[in-house]
Structure 1
Amino acid sequence: MKIKKILTIVAVAGLFIAAGVTAYVYNKAFTPNTTFNQKEVFVYIPTNATYEMVQQELAPFVKDMSKFDFVASKRSYDVNVKSGKFLLTQNMTSFDMIRAMRRNIPVKVAFNNQESLGKLAERMASQLEPDSVALYVSFTNEPFLKENGFTEENILAMFIPNTYEFYWDVNSNKLADKMAKEYKKFWNHERLEKAAAKGLTPIEVSVLASIVHKETAKVDERATVAGVYLNRLKTGMPLQADPTIIFAIKKETGDFDQIIKRVYHNDLKIKSPYNTYVNTGLPPGPIAMPDISAIDAVLNAEKHDYIYFCASPEKPGYHAFASNYAEHQVNARKYAAWVNKLGINR
């Protein structure tokens, strides 16, 4: 009788202890433990981060760090930290947060209209963990350039403006490899055939497209402008593209942030492979990152006999085209008078 009573007492005590342990664990792991008012916040954990670094990063968002530590220890997160971008939502429990800290969220990386590889690296670095120096080094690594058929002068052509998905903590070399694959995907059979029909390589198309892109912001005019430049290339005439002079000045000075609104006669004498008034053919690389509409404008260039064009004062943003020099001179004088009247200078 006494034994049965003792066993009953022990069993009841065990239930109370189990209930207490359950309540303790529940309180630690399964009660809301966030302290932010937003619906969601993103947390960025760098590569090779320690658990202490995670604690510092999470401190503004976690109400009771001891509860988080408890679950982290039980789930072995404290010895297996993951780097990346992570999503926390309001009123998450410690258990939920640990689970969320193992789900790396992809980042949508967008870029366009960059005038140099350095500017592109800065743009991408603002959206990802690798800094601009690491990205630039990966993009200009000699084996990488050789493997993909580029040079440091024309590597900008590899980057097709678009939105791409990466993990925030992506390795810079892997990012470069991914962009090379995207470039090859963009240059499908149809585009390659069109380029070949014009006697151009994909890189040469991008170089010309960069000039077309800078020459006119009007998408509906780009195929016409592209046709002019192709006509000049066929006849061996210098491209005589003002945007290449502007690029040459910026490259020579190392200042890609300066704004140049007008090209003067003396500017045309600048010694640079990008000076298309002095040199025939295409410059050695893109003068900016052409968007897809500019690339396709070159591939689908309008067939006409125009050789000259200049900005149109009657239709701002567009150009006046001419088949001969006399006609072009008339257009050019109209434009010069309009510019002088406005007092536009550099």
Structure 2
Amino acid sequence: MSPIFRAMSVPKKRPLRRIVVLVMLASLAGAAGIVWTLQRPLPINGERVVHIARRTTIAGAIDSIDAQCTLPTPALVRMTARLMARITQRPVHHGWYRFTSSDSQWDVVTALLSGRRRPAIRVTIPEGLTYREIASILQRKAEIDSSAFVSWCEQDSVVAKYTDDAPSMEGYLMPDTYDVLWRDDASAIGERLAERARSIWNELNVRTSRKEGLTLASIVQAEAANVAEMPAIAGVYSNRLKRGMRLEADPTVQYGIGVKRRVLYRDLDDSHAYNTYLHTGLPPGPIGNPGADAIKAALHPAEHQFMYFVARGDSTGLHRFARTGAEHMENVRLYRIARR
């Protein structure tokens, strides 16, 4: 190649390099502009609550948030969310979201693909509650639809899945402390409680009918104020069942009449199926949702000769146990004296 040709070629390369540099700078500036735009805060006062339904598309989710939060650049947020969803292979998380003025458009994108903006609430379900009482706690603590939870507990398909021919999910929900999503679907938390209960039962590895075991456990749970007494109380009911005696358990009567109050004499004549003063054997199903201690006591009752028990009537919550009716009546007399 001649020197003349070489000299003429150099000037042609310089404009090309400038163009490449300018394109790169423009791209960087554009990227920086996009980042800056996505970091813009949401123009809202206080907080906004947005619900993203199941199977909502990215565009639909962004539109819902835009309607409540007035996104500065909804088209850019929509495009960014679609791109990030493809890169991360993450779907849109349904549920309720809270956004405040401290959140940016980028926070909206990350929230939808991670679900982290859905507030988690720690809820404790005490032992012995009915599913209706559990529904009330979930409504009060985490704003979970109580009527939807009750309906879930009574659905035939749900009962068939989690129980063995029980009337409802009563007794098949495990009391415990759960982290639940604020305003989450009632069925989602119901399934967690049911799966937890099933897991606990399977760990015990027993041959006893689950329905019978949970029914007895629910009665023990209702009677015992002290975990240490549970095996003894379970032993009394086990002895009465073996001898074909009526259980005569006040909590079953209360469950049958639907009111937790002192049992009256007239209640003992009520012919509902849960009246163990009239009917022998266990009631049709659990009367509440027992905890693990009550379940273990029902499966492994204490071996003794006691056939009766009555509360002492003092602040301990403990009971006096008796082998005979005469001993029991004396304990009842002591109870009445203590209650004066």
- Common fold by TM > 0.5: yes
Q: Which residue of 2 aligns with 1:298?
A: 298
Decide which moves more: 273-282 or 122-131.
122-131
**Cα 1:115–1:13 shift into 2, 3 Å:** closer
The structure that has the greater radius of gyration is 2
Q: Quick check: 1:269–1:278 contact (8 Å CA) kept in 2? A: yes
Question: Does residue 206 of structure 1 match 2:214?
Answer: yes
Q: Quick check: 1:46–1:169 contact (8 Å CA) kept in 2? A: no
**In structure 2, C-alpha distance between the alignment counterparts of 1:90 and 1:82, rounded to whole Å:** 21
Q: Which amino acid aligns with 1:70?
A: L
Q: Which residue of 2 aligns with 1:311?
A: 311
Decide which moves more: 293-302 or 75-84.
75-84
Q: Quick check: 1:48–1:83 contact (8 Å CA) kept in 2? A: yes
Give the structure-2-normalised TM-score: 0.75
Alignment of 1:2-81 (within 5 A): 17-18=26-27, 20-29=29-38, 31=39, 33=41, 45-47=52-54, 50=60, 51-57=62-68, 59=69, 65-67=71-73, 69-76=75-82
Q: Which amino acid aligns with 2:76?
A: F
**Cα 1:325–1:36 shift into 2, 3 Å:** farther
**TM-superposed deviation, 1:28:** 0.7
**TM-superposed deviation, 1:227:** 0.6
Question: Does residue 140 of structure 1 match 2:154?
Answer: yes
**In structure 2, C-alpha distance between the alignment counterparts of 1:162 and 1:126, rounded to whole Å:** 17
Please tell me the root mean square deviation across aligned C-alpha atoms, in Å: 4.2
Q: Quick check: 1:114–1:120 contact (8 Å CA) kept in 2? A: no
**TM-superposed deviation, 1:44:** 5.4
Q: Which residue of 2 aligns with 1:104?
A: 115
Q: Which residue of 2 aligns with 1:238?
A: 246
**Cα 1:203–1:16 shift into 2, 3 Å:** closer
Q: Which residue of 2 aligns with 1:228?
A: 236
Give the structure-1-normalised TM-score: 0.73
Structure 2, gaps ≥5 residues long: 1-7, 86-90
**TM-superposed deviation, 1:123:** 4.2
**Cα 1:172–1:28 shift into 2, 3 Å:** same
Q: Quick check: 2:93–2:112 contact (8 Å CA) kept in 1? A: yes
**In structure 1, C-alpha distance between the alignment counterparts of 2:315 and 2:141, rounded to whole Å:** 38
Alignment of 1:78-227 (within 5 A): 82-84=93-95, 93-105=104-116, 110-113=124-127, 115-124=129-138, 131-151=145-165, 153-163=167-177, 181-188=195-202, 190-193=204-207, 196=208, 201-227=209-235
**In structure 2, C-alpha distance between the alignment counterparts of 1:139 and 1:295, rounded to whole Å:** 20
**TM-superposed deviation, 1:139:** 3.4
| 1:35-76 CA distance string (max 9 Å, x none) | 8999x999753435533322345x2xxxx8215652333333
**Cα 1:186–1:113 shift into 2, 3 Å:** closer
Decide which moves more: 304-313 or 162-171.
162-171
| 1:100-156 CA distance string (max 9 Å, x none) | 321125856653446433333454566779734444444333344335453452531
**Cα 1:178–1:335 shift into 2, 3 Å:** closer
**Cα 1:27–1:308 shift into 2, 3 Å:** same
**Cα 1:329–1:218 shift into 2, 3 Å:** same
Decide which moves more: 65-74 or 118-127.
118-127
Q: Which residue of 1 aligns with 2:88?
A: none
Q: Specify the SS of the correspondent of 2:309.
A: strand
| 1:63-105 CA distance string (max 9 Å, x none) | x821565233333389985413568799665334412321125
Q: Which amino acid aligns with 1:225?
A: I
**In structure 2, C-alpha distance between the alignment counterparts of 1:274 and 1:90, rounded to whole Å:** 55
Q: Which residue of 1 aligns with 2:4?
A: none
Q: Specify the SS of the correspondent of 1:310.
A: strand
| 1:8-54 CA distance string (max 9 Å, x none) | 8867865775564344223213x46368999x999753435533322
**TM-superposed deviation, 1:285:** 1.3
